[in-house]
């Protein structure tokens, strides 16, 4: 099998891992969002800890990278709490699609903070994605809009975290970064979980522990995939998660997205596909 195909298979597996994580978080039911987020990250921290120890790497990275690692972890924690809240309150595929705005927001942040010039086609893709977002949200300007805004804000924080990861590059091992983030989230949310703690049934424990395991599969699959092939060549396959969550919404939760939501999915995916094709053409030119 070619390296490119290995990368594609890993991205499909990664997308399935993240889709299952979302489904299990939703299945765990009436548990506070911070509690769900903590348990998901606790599992990731334990697994990443094993990788760090096995490879004899630093648990908390190098001293000169602490500001970047802390900032990435803080933004990632906020993004995950908001994403999990939107999962609880919205149709699963709606929450997932809003979270997929982060690549477009990353372009804006990279232009603003990393001084990377946004190309014309990227600006067009951002505008198209924004239209798709409005189709999903269907703004009514009452309390029903709050979970949608949480979903969008979660994508904003995620894009901020990815921007910092761009700066960090390969200066730290990926399992060190995953452990640092998961450990930070666990420590940061523990006081809130103690305050708002709700006892959980055995089934809820199982769902959240499995959510953490599937999230780790997603995280590592995503990271390893890009070691086989450049992101510009294969990244579009990661968005198969939208298909997975739409099917899970329909068959597991009996939630059928409305016509406008489907139109929004196709619009945002169309923007992603357009950007993917243009990125590859740019790469061929250079």
Q: How many CB atoms lie within 10 A of CB 81?
A: 22
pLDDT digits (tens, 9 = 90+) for 228-275: 877 667 777 888 888 899 899 999 899 888 999 999 999 999 998 898
- Check residue 204 and give its pLDDT: 95
Q: How many CB atoms lie within 10 A of CB 201?
A: 11
Cα dihedral: 14, 146, 255, 156 (round 10)? -20
- Contact indicator for 94, 261 with CB cutoff of 8 Å: yes
pLDDT of residue 275: 86
**Closest by alpha carbon to 221, among 25, 8, 1?**
8
pTM, rounded to two decimals: 0.89
pLDDT of 127 reads 93
DSSP letters of 43-96? HHHHHHHHHHHHTT--SS--GGGHHHHHHHHHHHHHHHHHHHHHHHHS-HHHHH
């Amino acid at each position: 099998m070619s390296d490119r195909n290995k990368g594609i298979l890993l991205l499909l597996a990664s997308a399935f891992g993240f889709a299952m994580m979302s489904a299990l978080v939703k299945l765990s039911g009436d548990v506070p969002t911070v509690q769900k987020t903590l348990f998901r990250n606790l599992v990731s921290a334990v697994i990443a800890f094993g990788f760090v120890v096995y490879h004899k790497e630093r648990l908390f990275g190098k001293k000169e990278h602490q500001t970047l690692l802390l900032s990435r972890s803080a933004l990632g924690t906020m993004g995950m709490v908001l994403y999990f809240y939107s999962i609880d309150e919205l149709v699963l595929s709606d929450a997932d699609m809003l979270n997929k705005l982060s690549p477009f927001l990353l372009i804006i942040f990279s232009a603003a903070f990393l001084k990377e010039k946004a190309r014309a086609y990227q600006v067009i893709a951002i505008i198209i994605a924004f239209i798709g977002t409005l189709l999903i949200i269907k703004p009514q300007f009452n309390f029903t809009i709050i979970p949608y805004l949480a979903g969008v804000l979660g994508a904003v924080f995620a894009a901020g975290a990815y921007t910092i990861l761009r700066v960090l590059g390969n200066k730290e091992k990926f399992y060190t970064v995953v452990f640092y983030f998961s450990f930070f989230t666990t420590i940061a949310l523990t006081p809130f979980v103690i305050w708002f703690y709700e006892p959980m049934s055995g089934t809820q424990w199982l769902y959240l522990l499995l959510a953490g395991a599937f999230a780790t599969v997603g995280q590592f699959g995503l990271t390893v995939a890009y070691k086989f092939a450049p992101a510009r060549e294969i990244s579009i396959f990661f968005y198969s998660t939208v298909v997975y969550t739409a099917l899970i919404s329909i068959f597991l939760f009996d939630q059928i997205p409305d016509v406008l939501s489907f139109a929004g999915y196709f619009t945002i995916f169309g923007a992603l596909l357009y950007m993917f094709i243009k990125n590859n053409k740019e790469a061929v030119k250079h």
